[in-house]
Amino acid sequence: MKAVIILPTYNEKENVHKLIPLLEEVVFPKVENHEMAILVADDNSPDGTADEIREFMKKWKNIDISQGPKHGLGAAYIRGMSYAIEHMGADVVFEMDADGQHDPMKIPDFMKKIDEGADMVIGTRYSGGGSIPANWPPQRKAFSIVANIFVRTVFTKFSIHDWTGGYRALKKEVFLKEKKELSNFKGYIFQISFLHKAIRDGFTIAEVPFHFSDRKLGSSKIAPVGYIIEVVKFVILTRIKELLLGSFGKYLVVGGFGFLLNAIILKIGVEFFNLTPTVANLAGAAVAIFSNYNFNNIWTFRHHKITSPKQYFIKLLHFYLTSAFGVIFIQTGTIFLGDILFGKEGYFLYFLIGTGLLLIWNFTIYNKFIWKKKSTQ
């Protein structure tokens, strides 16, 4: 395979001067069985980074440069990856800071993970011995640590420890698949969104721990603290969109329809058939649960559809039981607790909180037990 290390640069003349010989003379000879090359994605740096690279290109034939206007890190990577694949024949592309903060000696470890079958390898500072500079100011440390915990939690993807780092390797298939959807996001958001899409599309992800050293030469282009609000906004909006457009949105539509059925039957039962509200509501709930079960089966969770008649009845029974449990213990229980702890006045708020918890409970149970992958066969 051919792997191209993409170094995005904006005024990194002094840094590439040190990094490129290190890659060529020390690191590349350590990578067995793969052809290694370098692409510098330079945004017309005024400090003459490109001239430095052109000098190196005379000495080493596996170096190339792609220049363009400065539209941010994401744009530089999109341009660089396209170039590496189309003009250099790359099978694998690396993202690597040009300022030496990404320990180049880890490159063989990334390639090993690719050899073992990973589609995308993430350099991690937050697991397995990886670390961030001890001398970073407290607010930068806090930003980096909290941002990563935040992203992992909101995306409920705890197996990936470093979402914002920029030391990565990926097969060209990953880039080609996601290219259309990759926007010119600024620094950290580009990294988060790229990884999020790769996971969504089922690519295999692996991690390589590394120590992120402090920048020694040149100046920083990314202002971490300035990104806080943008990162939070991006991650939350992405998650909400994903949930609403995905099975959770369908589940809400199905549940909303069930709720309407329940309400109509309750009203007809009481007003036209003279039933007591309790009995009429039980009938309405029973019909609504039946409707929910079937619509969820053929629509929300259609990828894990229950087809065998025996399974259909067993799961229907489970569905009734878990739905009843949720209504009695979670929804009604929340109202009960609210009433005892804070008084009756807030009953409607407790109802709303209880219903919210109920929705999450049901969705989790349906995913994990009713329509879980293997049990449906």
Ligand X SMILES: Nc1nc2c(ncn2[C@@H]2O[C@H](COP(=O)(O)OP(=O)(O)OP(=O)(O)O)[C@@H](O)[C@H]2O)c(=O)[nH]1
- Site track for Mg ion across 50-89, x = CB under 5 A: ----------------------------------------
- Site track for Mg ion across 204-223, x = CB under 5 A: -----------x--------
Provide the minimum distance between the beta carbon of 11 and ligand X in the complex, in angstroms, as a whole number. Answer: 7
Residues whose CB is less than 8 angstroms from the CB of residue 4 and which lie 6 or more positions away in sequence, other chains included: 36, 37, 38, 39, 84, 88, 90, 92, 93, 94
Q: Closer to ligand X at the Cβ: 167 or 293?
A: 167
Q: Which does 318 bind (CB under 5 to 8 A by kind): ligand X, Mg ion, none?
A: none
Provide the minimum distance between the beta carbon of 97 and Mg ion in the complex, in angstroms, as a whole number. Answer: 5
Q: Which does 8 bind (CB under 5 to 8 A by kind): Mg ion, ligand X, none?
A: ligand X
Q: Closer to ligand X at the Cβ: 45 or 238?
A: 45
Please pick, from the candidates 99, 119, 178, 207, the single residue that binds Mg ion as defined by CB under 5 A: 99
Q: Closer to ligand X at the Cβ: 99 or 207?
A: 99
Provide the minimum distance between the beta carbon of 42 and ligand X in the complex, in angstroms, as a whole number. Answer: 6
- By beta carbon distance, the residue nearest ligand X is 220
Do 112 and 183 form a contact (C-beta atoms < 8 A)?
Answer: no
Using alpha carbons only, how large is the chain's radius of gyration in Å? 27
Sign of the Cα pseudo-torsion (223, 229, 233, 236, in order): positive
Angle at 274 between CA 269 and CA 279, to 5 degrees: 55
Please pick, from the candidates 64, 95, 97, 119, the single residue that binds Mg ion as defined by CB under 5 A: 97
Please pick, from the candidates 52, 97, 162, 207, the single residue that binds ligand X as defined by CB under 6 A: 97
- Alpha-carbon dihedral angle through residues 39, 41, 47, 48, given to the nearest 10 degrees: 50
The CA distance from 107 to 32, in Å, is 11
* Residue 9 binds ligand X (CB under 6 A): yes
CA-wise closest residue to 152 among 166, 162, 141: 162
Written as six digits, the tokens of 320 are: 């009734």
Q: Write the DSSP symbol of residue 374.
A: G
* Residue 76 binds ligand X (CB under 6 A): yes
Please pick, from the candidates 17, 177, 197, 221, the single residue that binds ligand X as defined by CB under 6 A: 221
* Residue 98 binds ligand X (CB under 6 A): yes
Q: Which does 98 bind (CB under 5 to 8 A by kind): Mg ion, ligand X, none?
A: ligand X
- Please list every residue from 115 through 134 that binds ligand X, using CB under 6 A: none
The CA distance from 96 to 195, in Å, is 15
Written as six digits, the tokens of 95 are: 């993202």
95-118: b or e for each residue (b if 16 or more CB lie within 10 Å)? bbbbbbbbbbebbbbbbebbeeeb
Contacts with Mg ion, residue ranges (CB under 5 A) = 97, 99, 101, 215
